[in-house]
Structure 1
Amino acid sequence: MESCNCVEPAWPPDDLLMRYQYIADFFIALAYFSIPLELIYFVKKSSIFPYRWVLVQFGVFIVLCGSTHLINLWTYSAHSLAVAVVLTVAKIFTAVVSCATALMLVHIIPDLLSVKTRELFLKKKTAELDREMGLIRTQEETGRHVRMLTLEIRSTLDKDTILTTTLVELGKTLALEECNLWMPTWNGQELQLSHTLRQRTDFGPVTVPIHHTTIKQVFSSNRAVVISHNSPVCISGQRQGEFTIGDVVAVRVPLLHLTNFHLGDWPDTNKRPFALMVLMLPADSARRWHVYELELVEVVADQVAVALSHAAILEESMQARELLMQQNVQLDMARREAEMAICARNDFLAVMNHEMKAPMHAIIALSSLLQETELTPEQRSMVDIVLKSSNLLDTLINDVLDISRLEDGSLELDTNTFKLPQIFIDVRNLVKPIISLKKLQVSLTLAPELPAFVVGDDKRLMQTALNVVGNAIKFTNEGIISIKVCLERLEYPMDPLMLEFRPVQGEQHCYIRVQVQDTGVGVNPHDIPKLFCKFLQSNSTTTRNNCGTGLGLAICKRFVNLMGGHIWVESAGPGKGTLVTFVVKLGLPEHPNELDRQMAMRTDFTGVRVLVTDDNGVNRMVTRGLLMRLGCEVTVVSSGRECLQVISQPGQSFKVLLLDVCMPDMDGYEVTIRIQEKFARHERPLLVALTANTDMATRERCLSLGMDRVILKPISLEKMRMVLTELLEFGTRNENQRRP
Structure 2
Amino acid sequence: MSKQSLIFLLTLSFLLSKPTAETDFRCNCEDESYFFSIETILECQRISDFLIAVAYFSIPIELLYFVSCSNIPFKWVLFQFIAFIVLCGMTHLLNGWTYGPHSFQLMLALTVFKFLTALVSFATAITLITLIPLLLKVKIRKSLDRHTILDTTLVELSKALDLQNCAIWMPNTSKTEMNLTHELKGRSFSKAAATPPISTGDPAVREVKGSDGAKILNPDSALSVISGGGGAHEPPGAVAAIRMPMLRVSNFKGGTPEMLPACYAILVLVLPSEQDRSWSNQELEIVEVVADQVAVALSHASVLEESQLMRDKLVEQNRALQQAKQDALMASQARNAFQMVMSNGLRRPMHSIMGLLSVMQDEKLSTEQRLLCDTMVRTSNVLSTLITDIMDTSGKDNGRFSLEMRYFELHSMIKEAACLSKCLCSYKGYSFVIEAEKSLPNHVMGDERRVFLVILHMVRSLLNGSKGAGCLTLRVYSAGGGQGSNEQRWGHWRSNSSDGYVYIRFEIGIRHIDSPEENIVPVIPYGGNRYYGTVEENMSFSACKKLVQLMQGDIWVVSNPEGFDKSMALVLRFHVRPIAGPDISDPSDRVHSNSLFRGLKVLLADPDDVNRAVTRKLLEKLGCVVYAVSSGYECVSALESNFSATCQIVILDLNLPDLDGYDVTTRIRKFRSRNWPLIVALTANDDGETRDKCAKIGMNGLIQKPGTFREISDELRRILMQANRILA
TM above 0.5, one fold? Answer: yes
AA of the residue aligned to 1:366: L
1:443 to 410, 435, 446: 435
Q: How does 1:213-292 map to 2 (within 5 A)?
A: 213=202, 216-218=205-207, 220-223=209-212, 224-229=214-219, 231=221, 233-234=223-224, 243=234, 245-259=236-250, 273-291=263-281
Please say if residues 613 and 658 of structure 1, whose CA atoms lie closer than 8 Å, have aligned partners that are also in contact: yes
Segments of structure 1 that go 5 or more residues without pairing to the other structure are 1-134, 262-268, 532-537
> For the structure 1 residues 196 and 166, does the alpha-carbon distance in structure 2 shift closer, same or farther, using more than 3 Å as the test?
same
Deviation at 1:606, TM superposition (A): 4.1
Please say if residues 182 and 191 of structure 1, whose CA atoms lie closer than 8 Å, have aligned partners that are also in contact: yes
Please say if residues 523 and 578 of structure 1, whose CA atoms lie closer than 8 Å, have aligned partners that are also in contact: no
1:686 aligns with 2:686: no
Report the 3-state secondary structure (helix = DSSP H, G, I; strand = E; otherwise coil) of the residue aligned with 1:603.
helix
The residue number in structure 2 matching 1:593 is 582
The residue number in structure 2 matching 1:642 is 634
Distance in 2, Cα, partners of 1:588 & 1:137: 102
Report the 3-state secondary structure (helix = DSSP H, G, I; strand = E; otherwise coil) of the residue aligned with 1:255.
strand
1:409 to 376, 384, 398: 398
The residue number in structure 2 matching 1:460 is 450
The residue number in structure 1 matching 2:180 is 192
Q: How does 1:85-100 map to 2 (within 5 A)?
A: none
Please say if residues 672 and 706 of structure 1, whose CA atoms lie closer than 8 Å, have aligned partners that are also in contact: yes
1:527 aligns with 2:516: no
Distance in 2, Cα, partners of 1:280 & 1:239: 11
Query: Structure 2 length as normaliser, TM-score?
Result: 0.66
1:162 aligns with 2:149: yes
Please say if residues 185 and 229 of structure 2, whose CA atoms lie closer than 8 Å, have aligned partners that are also in contact: no
Deviation at 1:362, TM superposition (A): 2.2
AA of the residue aligned to 2:637: Q
Report the 3-state secondary structure (helix = DSSP H, G, I; strand = E; otherwise coil) of the residue aligned with 1:252.
strand
1:356 aligns with 2:346: yes
Report the 3-state secondary structure (helix = DSSP H, G, I; strand = E; otherwise coil) of the residue aligned with 1:288.
coil
Distance in 2, Cα, partners of 1:152 & 1:504: 83
Report the 3-state secondary structure (helix = DSSP H, G, I; strand = E; otherwise coil) of the residue aligned with 2:556.
strand
Report the 3-state secondary structure (helix = DSSP H, G, I; strand = E; otherwise coil) of the residue aligned with 1:353.
helix
Please say if residues 461 and 537 of structure 2, whose CA atoms lie closer than 8 Å, have aligned partners that are also in contact: no
The residue number in structure 2 matching 1:7 is none
AA of the residue aligned to 1:159: R
Deviation at 1:629, TM superposition (A): 3.6
> For the structure 1 residues 200 and 483, does the alpha-carbon distance in structure 2 shift closer, same or farther, using more than 3 Å as the test?
same
Q: How does 1:54-453 map to 2 (within 5 A)?
A: 152-154=139-141, 156-171=143-158, 174-185=161-172, 189=177, 191-196=179-184, 198-200=186-188, 205-211=193-199, 213=202, 216-218=205-207, 220-223=209-212, 224-229=214-219, 231=221, 233-234=223-224, 243=234, 245-259=236-250, 273-291=263-281, 293-294=283-284, 296-298=286-288, 300-405=290-395, 408-409=397-398, 411-413=400-402, 415=404, 417-419=406-408, 421=410, 422-435=412-425, 437-445=429-437, 452=443
Please say if residues 606 and 631 of structure 1, whose CA atoms lie closer than 8 Å, have aligned partners that are also in contact: yes
Report the 3-state secondary structure (helix = DSSP H, G, I; strand = E; otherwise coil) of the residue aligned with 2:582.
helix
> For the structure 1 residues 328 and 242, does the alpha-carbon distance in structure 2 shift closer, same or farther, using more than 3 Å as the test?
farther
Please say if residues 487 and 510 of structure 1, whose CA atoms lie closer than 8 Å, have aligned partners that are also in contact: no
Please say if residues 182 and 192 of structure 2, whose CA atoms lie closer than 8 Å, have aligned partners that are also in contact: no
AA of the residue aligned to 1:554: S
> For the structure 1 residues 569 and 405, does the alpha-carbon distance in structure 2 shift closer, same or farther, using more than 3 Å as the test?
farther
Report the 3-state secondary structure (helix = DSSP H, G, I; strand = E; otherwise coil) of the residue aligned with 2:619.
helix
Root-mean-square deviation (Å): 4.5
Distance in 2, Cα, partners of 1:715 & 1:723: 10
Query: Structure 1 length as normaliser, TM-score?
Result: 0.65
The residue number in structure 1 matching 2:256 is none
Distance in 1, Cα, partners of 2:439 & 2:461: 23
1:698 to 681, 690, 704: 690
The residue number in structure 2 matching 1:654 is 647
Please say if residues 168 and 197 of structure 1, whose CA atoms lie closer than 8 Å, have aligned partners that are also in contact: no
Cα-to-partner distance string for 1:653-702 (whole Å, 9 max, x where unaligned): 222221112334432233333333333244x1232221212434434443
Cα-to-partner distance string for 1:61-112 (whole Å, 9 max, x where unaligned): xxxxxxxxxxxxxxxxxxxxxxxxxxxxxxxxxxxxxxxxxxxxxxxxxxxx
Distance in 1, Cα, partners of 2:540 & 2:191: 77
Please say if residues 442 and 480 of structure 1, whose CA atoms lie closer than 8 Å, have aligned partners that are also in contact: yes
2:539 to 531, 551, 571: 551
Cα-to-partner distance string for 1:257-315 (whole Å, 9 max, x where unaligned): 55589xxxxxxx99x82222111223344543345654553454344334323312321
Cα-to-partner distance string for 1:603-638 (whole Å, 9 max, x where unaligned): 164422111111222211222232234442211112
Please say if residues 181 and 196 of structure 1, whose CA atoms lie closer than 8 Å, have aligned partners that are also in contact: no
AA of the residue aligned to 1:343: Q
> For the structure 1 residues 176 and 673, does the alpha-carbon distance in structure 2 shift closer, same or farther, using more than 3 Å as the test?
same
Please say if residues 375 and 416 of structure 2, whose CA atoms lie closer than 8 Å, have aligned partners that are also in contact: no
Larger mean Cα displacement after TM superposition, 347-356 or 522-531: 522-531
Deviation at 1:439, TM superposition (A): 1.8
Distance in 1, Cα, partners of 2:314 & 2:658: 45
Report the 3-state secondary structure (helix = DSSP H, G, I; strand = E; otherwise coil) of the residue aligned with 1:383.
helix
Segments of structure 2 that go 5 or more residues without pairing to the other structure are 1-73, 80-126, 253-259, 513-519
1:610 aligns with 2:602: yes
Please say if residues 413 and 562 of structure 1, whose CA atoms lie closer than 8 Å, have aligned partners that are also in contact: no
Please say if residues 510 and 588 of structure 1, whose CA atoms lie closer than 8 Å, have aligned partners that are also in contact: no
Please say if residues 606 and 656 of structure 2, whose CA atoms lie closer than 8 Å, have aligned partners that are also in contact: yes
AA of the residue aligned to 2:206: Q
Report the 3-state secondary structure (helix = DSSP H, G, I; strand = E; otherwise coil) of the residue aligned with 2:310.
helix
> For the structure 1 residues 282 and 479, does the alpha-carbon distance in structure 2 shift closer, same or farther, using more than 3 Å as the test?
same
AA of the residue aligned to 2:723: E
> For the structure 1 residues 614 and 526, does the alpha-carbon distance in structure 2 shift closer, same or farther, using more than 3 Å as the test?
closer
> For the structure 1 residues 446 and 218, does the alpha-carbon distance in structure 2 shift closer, same or farther, using more than 3 Å as the test?
farther
> For the structure 1 residues 240 and 588, does the alpha-carbon distance in structure 2 shift closer, same or farther, using more than 3 Å as the test?
farther
> For the structure 1 residues 295 and 482, does the alpha-carbon distance in structure 2 shift closer, same or farther, using more than 3 Å as the test?
farther
CA radius of gyration, larger in: 1
> For the structure 1 residues 517 and 410, does the alpha-carbon distance in structure 2 shift closer, same or farther, using more than 3 Å as the test?
closer
> For the structure 1 residues 596 and 192, does the alpha-carbon distance in structure 2 shift closer, same or farther, using more than 3 Å as the test?
same
Cα-to-partner distance string for 1:339-395 (whole Å, 9 max, x where unaligned): 212211221221122122222222222222233223333333333333322232233
Deviation at 1:210, TM superposition (A): 3.9
Please say if residues 360 and 394 of structure 1, whose CA atoms lie closer than 8 Å, have aligned partners that are also in contact: yes
> For the structure 1 residues 460 and 481, does the alpha-carbon distance in structure 2 shift closer, same or farther, using more than 3 Å as the test?
closer
Deviation at 1:569, TM superposition (A): 2.4
- How many equivalent pairs are there? 573
Deviation at 1:320, TM superposition (A): 3.2
Deviation at 1:186, TM superposition (A): 5.4
> For the structure 1 residues 698 and 588, does the alpha-carbon distance in structure 2 shift closer, same or farther, using more than 3 Å as the test?
farther
Report the 3-state secondary structure (helix = DSSP H, G, I; strand = E; otherwise coil) of the residue aligned with 1:707.
coil
Distance in 1, Cα, partners of 2:268 & 2:414: 95
Distance in 2, Cα, partners of 1:447 & 1:167: 104
